[in-house]
Amino acid sequence: MTRSRSDLVWIPTFATLVAFAVPWPLWGVDRVVAGLPVWIWWHVAWLGLCATLFSLFVRSGAWERGMGREGAAAAERGGGGR
């Protein structure tokens, strides 16, 4: 199986998302914003970013190519689905 260059961009993207999922830059920060600790806001923003990137990932078709379902997905989009 060959992967397109655009599919290979997703690997470092998701590695970065995993690396910063834990708010390690905020360890030791006790600041509170709008009644919640800053690390809670980090998680809220991070989940929004992850949802957005995962949506782009799925829309790009990289999910189907990675799972070996490229032909089935193309057939479903073309109206020849199951």
**Residue range 15-68, pLDDT digits in tens:** 999 988 888 888 888 899 999 999 999 999 999 999 999 999 988 888 888 788
Residue 79 pLDDT greater than 60, yes or no: no
pLDDT for res 81? 46
The whole-model pTM stands at: 0.67
DSSP code per residue over the chain: ----HHHHHHHHHHHHHHHTTS-GGGTT---EETTEEHHHHHHHHHHHHHHHHHHHHHHTTHHHHHHT-HHHHHHHHTT---
| Domain housing 43 | 4-79
pLDDT value, residue 71: 62
pLDDT band at 72 (very low <50, low <70, confident <90, very high): low
Please report which confidence band the pLDDT of residue 82 belongs to, taking 50, 70 and 90 as the band edges. Answer: very low
